[in-house]
A and B are shown apart, each in its own frame.
Chain A
Amino acid sequence: MPPAVVLVTGVSRWLGGALAAELAADPAIERVIGVDTVPPSPAMLRRLGRTEFVRADIRNPLIGKVIAAASVDTVVHMNISSTPAGSGGRVPMKELNVIGTMQLLAACQRTPSVRRFVLKSTSAVYGASSRDPAVFTENMQARQVPSGGFAKDSVDIEGYVRSFARRRPDVDVAVLRFTNFIGPRIDSLLTGFLRMPLVPTALGYDARVQLLHEDDALSVLTRATTGDFTGTVNVGGEGTLLLSQAIRRLGRLELPLPTPALGSVGRLSRRFGFVDYSPEQMRFLNFGRVVDTTRLRTEFGYTPRYTTAAALADYARTLPPVVDPSAVRSVTGGLRSLVTTVGDAAGAVERRLRPVPPPPGLRAVRDA
């Protein structure tokens, strides 16, 4: 049964807005309500279509009134900030993430009409360390619980959502643990990081990176909202890349820095609002993270259309390379043909100087 009234938090960001627009385009859904603290951009507003935008803070109990008044039956919680820069510092970020989720869940618990809750979570809940297995399944837990930042918030949020599910067993809860998003339109941590012409990385480490294309992320969110999957599922594209490999494929230059130096670069770049290297993101850059997506393909029933490599290639279309791969190819190709020409010439000279002995022709007949 498709949902009648859907409430989406965090619609002013690309993915939230795209989901609301997708749901609004579905005639089976009666109403789509979008909530965010900041109004969406004019372009986003046009895309949202018949979505009703409510400018509200989920940290405010007002959100409960919105849910009750519209008798919302499906809540999609996406208002989780991954960078302090996006929400004005680490303290407001944590407040928005954790307190906001608690308020939202409290409101959902009070509203009997709610029967489905979808959480946009992250695979960062698995942490990243040298002691972790290479591939995480949904049943695994972080060996080292993330110490702070977005990952810690996400672990807390998932905990609150679990206790909500226990208190309201009639509500279907779907927790989607996404890997890093990438794509031409989405603005994610990794897109900002890889956009730099000179990408600083941790010297002596090479993270394994699993990506999810924005289109696949949108399809999975739509399916989770309108479908009936309950439980936790990892969402990521097939295959992995090493961070150094991704940087090379995008035609960027890698700048490996010793970890302490990278920390100060991180602080500096944070001050100027470029890219945010928090300690947990540094750990991710060191070790990377790969998740098992068997459950996504079998139980959830969705196979991402883009593999990790294809998603990166699609992102690369929009990004002018610093080191053009085709230029590299033409240079090495030119050198190769030069080598072949020289080699052929040298071989000809050598044959002239030292002819190969001809194969033996007739041999003297010998008796057995």
Chain B
Amino acid sequence: MPEARVIQLRPDDDERFVPVASPPGWEEQLAGGLQFLERRLTGEYDTDEFGFDPDLADHVLLPVLRPFFRKWFRVETIGLENVPSDSGALVVANHSGTVPVDALMTTVALHDEHPASRRFRLLGADLVFEIPLIGAMARKLGATLACNEDAERLLTEGELVGVFPEGFKGIGKPFRERYTLQRFGRGGFVSAALRTGAPIIPCAIVGAEEIYPMIGNARTAARLLGVPYFPITPTFPLLGPLGLVPLPSKWLIAFGEPIETASYGPAAAEDPMLVFNLTDQVRETIQHSLYQLLLRRRSVFGS
């Protein structure tokens, strides 16, 4: 005899009434702020050997970046399931936008949108750490110098490491070359991944190219200031400080399927041909994914 089917008479009654959790009131926020202030004044917070200050990142830096992430650039993240929750991985992304806002937005994306709230440990060029204030702030946000020693140490500790192999070539390229990947350094990131067996996650970022469209490069000014390029955008330096406001382009950040490296073994890092091939593979994956995302994005500044 077939079992009788239970028909729910009042399905909506199964849902219990749950009062909507009210957002933290002003008094809680103020009390939290006071607690933060107390920690900062007495130095009772933890920092790591790279100079990462999670307390400052969570309570000051990320809250400052969040409105840009949500409201200004309306960042959409795709493929977060490709980022592991608890193990080390190397996220390799395209670099663009004159100012490395893409690195900051990816940091927010991985912290806010990833279920495990991953910390993104960026590898920065040595120039970043030479500049006062910026260098110190970059370390507090979790960045460190792009060198194999630091990358391998972070990956061994199970951190999520981010690298932009195009470096200044990518970030300082003219606007007409947008979304074409530049040369990928010397493939140092691949050998770091091979040595630690960490997977490489190709990451494509669309939207950062349009925030400061670089239409010119004042080479003399750049040489005088000792920087790789001095951008001229439609609004900077024409409008002065107002030109520093990034254009509100629509952003998409896509994390691709991980390229595993553990099966090659750590000795494979000494095989330049394999390193070159893997570098090319990562580069082509990102380029392909950039074209797909561009097709998907209906307009540059639209929703």
Contact = CB atoms under 8 A, between A and B. Distances in A.
Q: Do these two chains really belong together in a complex?
A: yes
Interface of A: 130-135, 137, 140, 202-206, 208, 210, 239-242, 244-249, 259, 287-288, 290, 323, 325, 328-329, 332-333, 335-336, 339-340, 342-344, 346-347, 356, 359-360, 363, 365-368
Contact of B42 (A239, A328, A343): A328
A365 B9 CA distance: 9
Contacts of B53: 242
Contact of B34 (A245, A246, A339, A344): A339
B130 interface: yes
Given A134-B153, A323-B41, A336 B49 contact: no
What class of interface size applies to chain B in its complex with A? Answer: 35 or more
B42 A248 contact: yes
Contacts of A249: 42-44
15 contacts: A130-B135, A131-B129, A133-B150, A208-B139, A210-B49, A241-B43, A248-B41, A249-B42, A249-B44, A332-B34, A339-B27, A342-B27, A343-B27, A347-B27, A360-B17
Interface stretch (B77-85, B93-101, B140-148, B177-185): B140-148
A260 to B, nearest CB: 12
Given A135-B150, A135-B153, A343-B26, A242 B13 contact: no
Contact of B47 (A137, A204, A240): A240
Contacts of A202: 132
Contacts, number: 127
Given A245-B43, A339-B34, A342-B27, A133 B132 contact: no
Given A130-B130, A208-B49, A332 B38 contact: yes
B224 interface: no
| 5 tightest A-B CB contacts, nearest first | A204-B132, A343-B27, A248-B43, A249-B43, A133-B149
Interface in B1-30: 7-11, 13, 17, 19, 25-28, 30
Interface of B: 7-11, 13, 17, 19, 25-28, 30-31, 34-35, 37-38, 40-45, 47-51, 53, 126, 129-136, 139-140, 144-145, 147, 149-150, 153
A367 B150 CA distance: 66
Contacts of B26: 343
